[in-house]
Amino acid sequence: MNSLEGSQATVIVDGKISNPFVKSRGVRQGDDLSATLFILVFHKALKPPELSNTILSRLTQILGYANDILTIARSIPAIEAMCAEISREAGRVGLVINPEKTK
C-alpha cells in the first residue's frame, strides 16, 4: 500500500499533458510489485513447467523473466499452438497479450 498510496498520473492528449490525477487501482509500470504480481498470475494461468526437461527433449518451452516471456519450439505449428494456448489461458485470468509488442 505504501507504494500505491497517493500515487498520481498524467496522460498526454493531442500533445498536451493533462493535470495530475490520483490513481486508485493498479500498480505503477516498472514497480517491483508489478513484476511479482505478473509472475504469480502468469504461473497460475499456465501449467507448471516440466523442470527436468529442456528444449532438446521437448517440443516447446516457455521462459519468463519479470513481465516478459520467451517461447521456444521446434516447428512453426508447435509455436503457433503454444501461443494460442498462452493467449487463451492468459485471458482466463485477465491478462491480455499485446500483438504490437509480440514479434
Whether 60 has a pLDDT exceeding 90, the answer reads no
CA dist 60 and 57 (Å) reads 9
pLDDT digits (tens, 9 = 90+) for 37-46: 777 777 777 7
CA dist 83 and 81 (Å) reads 6
Averaged pLDDT for residues 30-57 = 67
Residue 55 and residue 82 in contact, taking contact as beta carbons nearer than 8 Å = no
Alpha helix (H) residue ranges in 1-103: 32-45, 76-92
60 bridge partner residues: 73
Percentage of residues of the chain with pLDDT beyond 90: 4
Mean pLDDT over all residues of the chain?
Answer: 76
Given this model, what pLDDT does residue 16 score? 93
What is the pairing mode between strands 21-22 and 8-9? antiparallel
Conformational region of residue 18, where left means phi above 0, alpha means psi within -120 to 50, and beta covers everything else: beta
- From the centroid of its chain, how far is CA 60? 19
pLDDT digits (tens, 9 = 90+) for 1-26: 666 677 788 888 899 999 998 877 77
Given this model, what pLDDT does residue 18 score? 92
